[in-house]
Chains A and B, each alone.
Chain A
Amino acid sequence: MKKKVLLMGASGSGKTSMRSLIFSNNPASLTSRLGATIDVEQNHVRFLGDLILNLWDCGGQDSFMDSYLTTQRPTIFQQVGVMIYVFDAESHEPIKDMEYYRDCLEGLRYFSPEAAIFILIHKMDLIREPQQLLDKRRQELQEVSGDVSIQLFGTTIFDQTLYKAWSSIVHTLIPNASILSKHLSIFAQACGATEVILFERTTFLVIATSSSGTGVASSAVPTYAKDGSDHQLEPTRYERTSELIKAFKYTCSRVREEFHTLELDLHDFSAVLDELTKNTYVLVILHDPTIETAAVKLNIRLARSKFETLQADSLN
């Protein structure tokens, strides 16, 4: 199954930078070397088993944008699964940005009315009053978008917000993610875990969690453990985990090693992060001190084939 993902937005807004962080495991510090993207750069990323993301990174200089909206219009906007529109939070040409956005929205409505739309207000690290800006942009964009539903995130390549946004994006592309969630919570119960989180292997984006049937969307709500105890966990933990592990993977690659597994036994909790299927990693969080991480590792091994099957099914 192939899903077309459009990355659009003004030149310099940060599209190629975020792509290289999420999909190529490059650090933020290296993005300053990127040149402007010429025309469209297409990439195929095998995401989950048979799910292939077909990324269209559309260079944002005016001449390219004009051609996307005229001669190339059908090619660009046909069969789109998701459009991600990136706005530079510090843009000097907000009016022009908005006009291009409106034109793209129209193209999408005509050729791919079913496509999901995500809007990223990017480079938020440069903004002094981030919440204020987001509220303002949300209102403006809602108005321009009319009855089309949009999801808006503030992001920057320098913290976990990028992972939060992208986890939501890919979540819309996995048809039966809620089935995965259900089985994760069964697995959590079997392990005596407070929480179990499933990550895609290369991007470390969150695919599903044991905490809710709706997956990542609920990460802003504190989690209460299934065992009836009242563990209340950090709301940003999913995206921060993605960010931390990605950074550590990069460190490992610099010494020509490859990150494989992690286990922790700390004062407050213990955890196991291990491969679950060919394409996924699973993180199991334990607050019950009587449960050994070795037992969890064994459980993960035993659950492997079950999840391989589930994952294949969830894509069909």
Chain B
Amino acid sequence: LNGSRHSSSSIQRTKVLVLGLRRSGKSSIQQVLFNNLPPKQSFYLEPTYRIVKTQIDTVVPLELWDTPGHATPESIGIPIGQFRSLIFVIDIRDLYNQPITKLVSFVTAAYQSNPDINIEVFVHKSEKLQEDDKIENFRHIQERVTDRLLDLAPEYENIQPNFYLTSIYDHSLHEAFSRVLHKLIDSLPYLEDMLNVFCANSQSPKAFLFDTKSRLYVATDASPVDTATHNLCCDYLEMLTSFGTLYKSTASTSRHSPPTTSEDPQLLSSNGASLTPSPTTSTGVPPQSSKKHPKEMFYPSAATSLHPSTPGTTLTYHEITSSLALLALVPTSVYEGRRGLLEYNVVFFREGVQEICDVEKETREGG
């Protein structure tokens, strides 16, 4: 359907099983995240009668298995242990036994052969309830699940399901799925390290590496994720994507290929005294690039300044690869006064991420 874009079939994909009673919202979740379905339109989705596998290309090539409501561990066709994660979707208003019984049957089936499997529980359609009821139902469902598992066998104490409140009508779904994705990224610690270094060197209080198309964040620095900041970055990315199509000229082809002269040092110095020229031109020695990426001349970028809180914050966007983008909050003083340093940090970060992606890709292709 969607993820099949230029992906070789030989590539190894990480399998994720999506479970839940019928009408709990499984298909809606996937369509909204990966097919840009407007949430309101999910109302018209057809029920799922058979297992549907969708290939999704994020940093980790995924294979999502969408299941019908009546699926059992035996009807899946392969051992449940072969999945890296189970995502279980429960309607937040559904407090009865049925979904929990189903969840427990899958968890126990998986645990025998793969005790490390990730159990992710989406307590879904959360926007339907008021704040107090929402929290109460959420806690209630968590308790029921853990109690039921413990009742079955003491060893199930080791199973630690992760619970998330989600809704397709706000950013909670993106944030939850991002956290699901993080556990599947083997190189996550390296990405996080690089983001920490970037933040320290750029005086950035927060930076995210986003998968551009799905708007899931792939990694972030060590500072805690504040939901409001996460939402701001998601919306910014969405705005930039839409804006990018508006003023595209249908008559001319991409103005930045072949190589551009926009980084001509003469032009830069004639424009604004306060700007430090970017190090890629001023030093003449661009940071070393791996052989696989012939030095590309141009990567899109954007910045928006958020006023008026002193000293002021600028939200920056830098393309890192064709599918990844770095979004960072930086003090406006740094963005305006030390632009060269910032650009240098981005180039350094980009080289690192590209290298990691290359290694990952090689391993996947069984190289």
B-contacting residues of A (Cβ < 8 Å)? 194-195, 229-234, 237, 240-241, 244-245, 247-248, 251-252, 254-269, 271, 285, 287-292, 294-295, 297-298
Contacts and interface: CB of A to CB of B under 8 A. Distances in A.
28 contacts: A230-B252, A233-B246, A233-B248, A234-B245, A234-B246, A241-B246, A248-B239, A251-B232, A251-B236, A255-B232, A256-B309, A257-B232, A258-B308, A260-B305, A260-B306, A261-B304, A263-B303, A263-B304, A264-B240, A265-B300, A265-B302, A266-B300, A268-B254, A269-B247, A287-B255, A288-B255, A290-B260, A298-B271
B303 A262 contact: yes
B268 interface: yes
B308 A287 contact: no
B118 to A, nearest CB: 31
A269 B255 contact: yes
Interface in B144-187: none
B249 A287 contact: yes
Contacts of B225: none
B251 A261 contact: no
Contacts of A254: 228, 231-232
B367 interface: no
B350 to A, nearest CB: 15
B271 A295 contact: yes
Given A231-B251, A289-B262, A290-B264, A259 B304 contact: yes
B235 interface: yes
Contacts of A268: 244, 247-249, 254-255
Contact of A248 (B235, B261, B264, B307): B235
A27 B232 CA distance: 15
B242 interface: yes
Contact of A267 (B246, B256, B313): B256
B267 A290 contact: yes
Nearest to B255: A289
Q: Is the interface of B mostly helix, strand, loop or mixed?
A: mixed
A292 B268 contact: yes
Contacts of B298: 267
Contacts of A233: 246-250
A261 B305 contact: yes
A232 B249 contact: yes
A253 B115 CA distance: 45
Contact of B229 (A245, A248, A255): A255
Given A248-B304, A264-B244, 5 more contacts: A233-B248, A241-B243, A261-B305, A262-B304, A287-B252
B197 interface: no
A192 B232 CA distance: 32
Contacts, number: 140
A257 B309 contact: yes
B336 to A, nearest CB: 10
Given A241-B243, A297-B272, A269 B249 contact: yes
A267 B272 CA distance: 23
Nearest to B300: A266
Nearest to B228: A255
B251 to A, nearest CB: 4
A259 B306 contact: yes
B59 interface: no
Given A254-B228, A295-B272, A297-B272, A266 B244 contact: yes
A244 B242 contact: yes
B301 interface: yes
A240 B254 contact: no
Contacts of A255: 228-229, 231-232
Nearest to B246: A237
Contacts of A248: 235-236, 239, 304
B232 to A, nearest CB: 5
B51 interface: no
A159 B271 CA distance: 38
A245 B246 CA distance: 13
B272 A298 contact: yes
A268 B253 CA distance: 8
A229 B251 contact: yes
B346 interface: no
Contact of B243 (A244, A256, A265): A244
Contacts of B229: 255
A239 to B, nearest CB: 10
Contacts of B302: 262-266
Contacts of A240: 242, 246
Contact of A258 (B235, B243, B307): B307
Contacts of B33: none
B239 A294 contact: no
B104 interface: no
Contacts of A262: 302-304
B334 interface: no
Contacts of A289: 255-256, 260-262
